[in-house]
Amino acid sequence: MTLSLLLIFLIGLAALAWFRSPAWLFAAFAGGLTALSLAALPVALALEVVLIASTVALVFMAVKPLRRAVLSRPLFNWFKGVLPAMSATEKEALDAGTVWWDAELFSGKPDWKVLFDMPKPTLTEEEQAFIDGPVEELCAMLDDWQINRELKDLPPEVWQYIKDQRFLSMIIPKEYGGLDFTSQGNAAVVTKISTRSLTAAVSIMVPNSLGPGELLMHFGTDAQKDHYLPRLARGEEVPCFALTSPMAGSDAASMPDEGVVCKEVIDGKEVLGLRVSWDKRYITLAPVATVLGLAFKTRDPDGLLGGKEHLGISCALIPTSTEGVEIGNRHLPGGSLFMNGPTRGKDVFIPMDWVIGGQDRIGQGWSMLMHCLAAGRAISLPAQGVAGGKMASLLTGAYARIRYQFKQPIGHFEGIEEPLARIGGEAYRMEAAHKLTMSALDRGDKPVVLSAILKAYLTEANRRVINDAMDVHGGKAVVEGPGNYLSMGYQALPVSITVEGANILTRSMIVFGQGAIRCHPYLLKEMLAAQDNDLAAFDTALWAHVGFLISNGVRAPLLGLTGGLLSQSPVSGPSARYYRRVNRLTSAFTLTADLALLILGGKFKFAEKLSGRFADALAHLFMASATLRRFEDDGRPEEDLPLLRFAVEDSLHQVEEALHSVYRNFPIPLLGRVLRLICFPTGRRHPVADDKTGHKIARLLLSKTASRERLVAGVYESKEADGTGIVLQAFDAVLKAEPAENAIRNAFKAVPSPVNVKALARKGVEAGVITEDQAADLILAQELSAKVIAVDEFTPEELAGQVEDQRPVLAEAS
């Protein structure tokens, strides 16, 4: 009886913890069991003592006034003493944006309904028409070799077309003459243009991302909106935004650029304004901008505004024609020579109404920037990552089918199947995460943590797929020239890795550093309660946090032992097991993160290696979830299962590896080993996808399958005789000629090649093995294949001419 009652007691407590029951229910359960044992059951005295003590403790915890006075108050005083100071910029960054699915992942018990309540990613009819019309036409006008190696700029007619078609106004409301596209539409435009020219894509995406347009829409005065937004929409003004200083890159709070509040006599009238000095670099569109958005620290030493001296960061719009503004010199970003350069100014006077939002917005610049960055960072640079994955899938699959070695397409070799599988799986996962987040933005969310994840992890994934594409193409991708469609994108990879928060910084400090506070259900509440000296709020949050920790302490080992089988999946079928595995890993992640934060406290902000590993886990939990959602949105096509398996299994593997790395480096080593046993009682259970799955993905990319078409949808497919156009033409021709090729192989034991195809085709026709039409198809396929395999070459005179042609362009730019 004693053993049975003890088991009932322990199982009951575990069940209550599993379901996160309130404290009074724990107390009621313990009290009822204690009363039963004392009144009717013959049990050992020791168990009775345990039951009575447990009941007293649980009742004590359930009575809030008693608990608050005895336990919460001293803990509150201690917490306030150890809580690290938070800088103004840190607080503003935390205040920016919202949370969504990332908060569910931090719960340790994600509610999948929250994920599926998000509307399915779609484009409006107007957006689709714009992509099929002006975007398609713009892509046809672009020649990346001409842009980056000859002109060092977009051709004048391209610039004019971009302005005329209002490409620079995708985020501007229609009432001001803009296109007013959704985030989904904005991203789709940037993605398609990026598959043709990164230089053109960057030139278009920057005005539609963090910059004057978005700042004006959210924070500008009515007069500022009425003046600038129509002019920006029509392309009469070209904007840029200057934030980065030589001595203050990621650490914007240390920028030396300063505006001093002063008065100036203009046309006989005394005008209140600021005298601003700045030195900025890496500013996209600065060399051609007509209006300069500028971030600077603000100081009021004479008290002209009636308050303190140091007012914080402000943002202003300055016409570049203003006396003292230095602009026009260029930087040359590797691989993608979009307009980018420095800007400087010394004691430039600007009236107060040039401050974005006017005088009332003085000192609010950083919160304004964080507000915009919470959304903007998710759109453009991740769209370039999606474009890289799509084009790598399209062109590398085609090339691997066209290119023969040892009498077969190179894509049939297992060594090539591996990178092809990675390219396809990464591309599938990148688009899933990106489109889902765009839906969140279009619903009105501003998911700051997910935006950081997309920026860092999709640009890194792009680097991996382009590296794999380069490896498969070999020398074709190394030799530069108009026919090389990979090298400039490869050279430009560091741009997206570096800007809008370098990936090292984003991974090690932002994703989990902000995510732990913003997404955790109780941590921010505890911090705010301490700052507000609110004991009641602290008490509520603290003990809810304790219950949360206990619940995950029960859930993690049980889910670990069962592989997640005790949890529920929102769907049935082949993908159901992955939902349960995500459930299992979120519980392990949350328990581990909670204990790390508890042990390190304020020191965690300096534990960047641990933070980076937790960021990896959180990012891949999100990407696995997004990939599962995409599979459902696409109608659960069976032929896409290899892509789903590869992407999700890789993400789950990355989560598992990240957590094991945390355990190896846990602040208390013994606790790290214990946590590993609790969360992974049966060891590592999430390997990467097997070779059969990789083989299936590779074969999907080597032919025109429905899966391949879904994977590469939204790219620009050139129909011209340029680098990408020839590859696509050759791919179609090779597939069309495949029956004839097989007939020749079987009849003559010979493989058609550009060298022997005419003779073999003639022999095949004469022998009745193939028809005249098939012979023509075979010859065309080999002729086009020869063009694909060929690389560019230049005469010494041509190379000398290129050098001479570049000098006046550079001189003019400077």
Give mean pLDDT, residues 754-768: 94
Phi, psi of 260 (to 5 degrees): -105, 125
Could you write out the three-class secondary structure of 211-224?
A: CHHHHHHHHCCHHH
Place of tokens 């990346």: 144
Give mean pLDDT, residues 17-29: 88
Nearest Cα to Cα of residue 439 among 379, 528, 525, 362: 379
For residue 808, the model assigns a pLDDT of: 42
For residue 606, the model assigns a pLDDT of: 87
Give mean pLDDT, residues 150-175: 96
Tens-place pLDDT, residues 32-87: 888 887 776 676 778 778 888 888 888 888 888 988 989 999 999 988 877 766 66
- Residue 699 binned pLDDT confidence (cut-offs 50, 70, 90): very high
Residue 600 has a CB neighbour count (10 Å cut-off) of 15
Reading the block at residue 205, the tokens are 């995406």
How many CA atoms, within 13 angstroms, populate the side-chain half-sphere of residue 248? Answer: 18
Report the run of H or E that residue 275 belongs to, with start and end. Answer: strand 269-284
For residue 94, the model assigns a pLDDT of: 65
For residue 50, the model assigns a pLDDT of: 83
- Residue 370 binned pLDDT confidence (cut-offs 50, 70, 90): confident
For residue 81, the model assigns a pLDDT of: 77
Tens-place pLDDT, residues 722-753: 999 999 999 999 999 999 999 999 999 999 99
User: Which is more confidently placed, 527 or 582?
Assistant: 582
Among 336-340, 366-370, 388-392, the range scoring the smallest mean pLDDT is 366-370
Please state whether the predicted TM-score (pTM) of the whole model is above 0.85: yes
pLDDT > 80? residue 571: yes
DSSP 679-715: H-TT----PPP-HHHHHHHHHHHTTT-HHHHHHHTT-
Q: How many angstroms separate the CA atoms of 22 and 120, rounded?
A: 36
For residue 89, the model assigns a pLDDT of: 60
For residue 78, the model assigns a pLDDT of: 85
Q: How many angstroms separate the CA atoms of 146 and 192, rounded?
A: 19
For residue 91, the model assigns a pLDDT of: 66
For residue 814, the model assigns a pLDDT of: 32
Q: How many angstroms separate the CA atoms of 158 and 347, rounded?
A: 36
Q: Please, are residues 289 and 325 in contact by the beta-carbon 8 Å criterion?
A: no
Beta bridge partners of 299: 260, 310
For residue 812, the model assigns a pLDDT of: 40
For residue 17, the model assigns a pLDDT of: 87
Percent of the chain with pLDDT over 70: 96
Tens-place pLDDT, residues 511-556: 998 888 888 999 889 888 988 899 999 999 999 999 999 999 999 9
**Crossing angle (nearest 10°) for helices 380-402 and 691-701:** 90
Percent of the chain with pLDDT over 90: 77
Tens-place pLDDT, residues 203-229: 999 999 878 999 999 999 999 999 999
pLDDT > 90? residue 802: no
For residue 163, the model assigns a pLDDT of: 97
Nearest Cα to Cα of residue 473 among 489, 458, 457: 489
- Active-site positions read 500
Beta bridge partners of 446: none
pLDDT > 50? residue 141: yes
pLDDT > 90? residue 124: yes
Give mean pLDDT, residues 118-145: 97
What is the three-class DSSP state of 457? helix
User: Which range has highest mean pLDDT (97-101, 137-141, 753-757)?
Assistant: 137-141
Residue 609 carries which DSSP code?
H
Mean pLDDT, the chain, integer: 92
**Crossing angle (nearest 10°) for helices 414-442 and 380-402:** 150
pLDDT > 70? residue 402: yes
For residue 121, the model assigns a pLDDT of: 95
Tens-place pLDDT, residues 470-484: 999 999 999 999 999
pLDDT > 90? residue 697: yes
User: Which is more confidently placed, 600 or 385?
Assistant: 385
Phi, psi of 142 (to 5 degrees): -95, 135
- Residue 804 binned pLDDT confidence (cut-offs 50, 70, 90): low
pLDDT > 90? residue 380: yes
**Helices and strands counted in the chain (H then E):** 38, 9
For residue 93, the model assigns a pLDDT of: 63
pLDDT > 50? residue 807: no
Give mean pLDDT, residues 614-626: 98
Question: Residue 378 corresponds to which amino acid?
Answer: A
Supply angle C-alpha 96, 516, 464, rounded to 5.
90
Among 47-51, 169-173, 295-299, 436-440, the range scoring the smallest mean pLDDT is 47-51
Beta bridge partners of 708: none
pLDDT > 90? residue 684: yes
Tens-place pLDDT, residues 446-459: 999 999 999 999 99
For residue 376, the model assigns a pLDDT of: 77
Give mean pLDDT, residues 22-29: 88
For residue 310, the model assigns a pLDDT of: 92
